[in-house]
Amino acid sequence: MLGKELRALREQNDLTAESVSLELGFSRSKVSRVESGDIPLPKLADLERLMDRYGVKDPADRDALLSMQRGSLSKEPYTSYRNALPSGMPLYLGLEHDAIRIRGYQNNSVFGLLQDESYARAQMQSAKIVEERTTDAVEQAIRVRMERKKRLTSADGPEIHVILTENSLTTAIGSPEVMRVQYAEIIRLTKLENVEVQIIPRDLLTYRSDWNFTMLEFDGLDPVVQSDSYKATTMWSKESDVGQYKRQFDNMAKIAPGPHETPQFLKNLEKKLWK
């Protein structure tokens, strides 16, 4: 849908795909494949430049194209892993890939983007038989998780703010060594300028959300929230729904110890639990 609209706009302006690619610094192949629907347009900035070049000024028209672009992200960049992912996950991963800010809350295990590979493997292996997953499917899922994590250290990586409960860090996954390595990985990631992690201690009297959730924010698009509940993963985009999750997150972030306290909290927890 987006590709057809872009092609129509280009032709209305009497432009060739080659001239557009040269002017905007795109490859000729990229322009053609986007227009034919073979690949999505992953960067919002690229769409903004195309709309400017094609003279799309009406806010409603721009919003319509931006919505189409969001839909096309469901194919990017994990198409090759589609068979190994749960239903609805490719859409979420496409949106996550283009988010400029990610805020997550996790109450029962370590947030996915913070997981060390050994922790991710132990977690998925423990569920392999129950979820009737093959060894190949598990390995593919681990590779997807590690690929997602690379964005944290990329030049255009998103801002990450994660709130974990102490429960998510004391639930044994794998072995004491796996847990020690996982703690060290979180400490390493908190040294990045774009990553903040807060932990709600077990004995802190404060609000805790019943369900895990992740809020994705974009450049030029409204935020969305993915939440987990019993037997369901739901995407929320309605302003009132997103606002509810934002209030939950902001409340927990305000009460929990600051990000600067996280490394020492983990070190103390390691000494206490994983000797």
User: 236 pairs with which residues across the strands?
Assistant: 225
Which pLDDT score, from 0 to 100, does residue 58 have?
Answer: 85
Query: Tens digits of per-residue pLDDT, 161-219?
Result: 999 999 999 999 999 999 999 999 999 999 999 999 999 999 999 999 988 999 999 87
Which pLDDT score, from 0 to 100, does residue 79 have?
Answer: 45
User: 256 pairs with which residues across the strands?
Assistant: none
Which pLDDT score, from 0 to 100, does residue 86 have?
Answer: 53
Residues 6+ apart with CB under 8 A from 258: 198
Query: In the 8-state DSSP scheme, what is residue 223?
Result: -
SS3 content of the chain, % helix, strand, coil (to 5): 55, 15, 30
Q: Which amino acid, 95?
A: L
Cα separation, 238 vs 224, in Å, equals 8
CA 90 from chain centre, in angstroms, equals 11
Where would I find the beta strands (DSSP E) of 69-211? 101-106, 159-165, 195-200
218: number of Cβ within 10 Å: 19
Residue ranges in the chain modelled with pLDDT below 70: 1, 38-40, 42, 70-91, 132, 220, 229-233
Cα separation, 31 vs 28, in Å, equals 5
Query: Tens digits of per-residue pLDDT, 128-144?
Result: 777 767 888 888 889 98
Cα separation, 215 vs 53, in Å, equals 32
CA torsion angle 129 130 136 142 (round to 10):
-120
Which pLDDT score, from 0 to 100, does residue 193 have?
Answer: 94
Which pLDDT score, from 0 to 100, does residue 90 have?
Answer: 66
Where would I find the beta strands (DSSP E) of 21-157? 101-106
Residues 6+ apart with CB under 8 A from 240: none
Whether the Cβ atoms of residue 212 and residue 227 lie closer than 8 Å to each other = yes
Largest CA distance in the chain: 70
